Structure 1
Amino acid sequence: MRDAAELPSVGDADIAAVASLLADPARCSVLLALDDGRALPASVLADEAGVSRPTASSHLAKLTAAGLLRVEAHGRHRYYRLAGPHVAELLENLVRLSPPRPVRSLREGTRAARLRAARTCYDHLAGRLGVAVMGSLLDRGALIGGDGRYDPDRDVHDSLSNVGHDVRYELTGAGRDFLNGLGVVLPTGGRPLIRYCVDWTEQRHHLGGGIGRALLDRFLSAGWLARTARGRAVTVTAAGQAVLADSFAIDW
């Protein structure tokens, strides 16, 4: 028998510790509000969660201590954001496994419709717009390796609970030229250039990875998309509608 001093100091992962944090609806609302990659103050997050500011501060402290959030100080103000893409990936996986909440008001219905139309999935486009952009890149041969469809019978590992790794998409030379022509600045190192998610509303693939982020950055900086004041929904501007029609053959 091994001496107690020789035993490891830690055991298996304590999933329950994280699960208990996510069991609270208000904390989940806070995390989803931050799933667009932005940093938001506690007052906004309190409104998103429908709780008082002291209650929100307590939730934020617990989420920060657990490593799910990080806090940034700007003068006297404190802003919170997701601790990194690994937390966003956790949230997206949970979203795919979770049943939809019933819509009980016109406001909730309008918000749900906007999320389904066009939203951010941490740092890339999702919803009908994200799926349409990826579909356009596949149609024009900018991406190859798959068809953008989620098919559980064909792709055993391409599941709704899995951020996509199994369909091997590649960027072609023509695709690189196309993106450069749009002013999209492709990353040169670090994260994978191409990843995909199975979009939870559209049941198809949308583009993540370095290209996904670069596309979203370009759409926002060029004024083709505009973020809403709160939440993950984005709106397509008149200039964006023209670019989508002319460059992506998307009638928005």
Structure 2
Amino acid sequence: MKGERLDRLLARLGLGSRKEVARVVRSGQVRVAGQVVRDPAFHVPPGARLEVNGQPLAVRCHHHVLLHKPAGYVTSRKEGPSVFTLLEGFPTRDLSPVGRLDKDTEGLLLFTTDGELLHRLTHPRHKVEKRYLVHLEHPATGEDQKAFGEGLVLEGTRLLPAELSWDQNPTRVELVLREGRFHQVKRMFQARGNRVLYLKRLSLGPLTLGDLPVGQARYLSPEEEEALYRAVGIFTDLLRGRW
């Protein structure tokens, strides 16, 4: 078998456009089966080991599963009912949740086997956006928006700036966070004298639930995987030799 062109393969793996990866190849950063290859048109033998800056392209060996979590399930293996019971048919032994959702919280919950990806998605330094739909006991106010936008001080710790918005009904709001602390959404509104009645995570970085039914799970598409890795800079670091 002739194999796939190197530039096309690298672009398909998410390292950039064909033009971008061609420059990377010509610069001598790519090895195929241990040998430096500078020809973007080189045909990669099936199963050959690929390296960029000495690092193997292993990111596509991981599993990433998106779950539309229903209320009533805990993000734990030791307690129940567990979200892992909703992942029948997936490699649950190796999957870890990216953050947690409370038992009564619904929405997007990502699982991955990639520890580096999990770390970057959850570490505040990378400021990955998490968007929530929140139903409140009392209407949100402009003062709430200002306090969240400036970085709310919660139990002596200043949080990262958050975005609070609503359309017609200020008891039905959206909140965008760039960190994930314990019960953060509920505690933020509690600090403002309000109470969360319903909470749903709508998105994580570039990922959204789309039309995924409640209680159902699916693998990420290649396009979603690429967007996710780019969002936390893994591909950029790989090309610069930092990962």
Q: Which has the higher contact order (CA 8 A, sep 6+)?
A: 2
TM-score by length of 1: 0.29
Structure 1 or 2: larger strand share?
2
TM-score by length of 2: 0.29
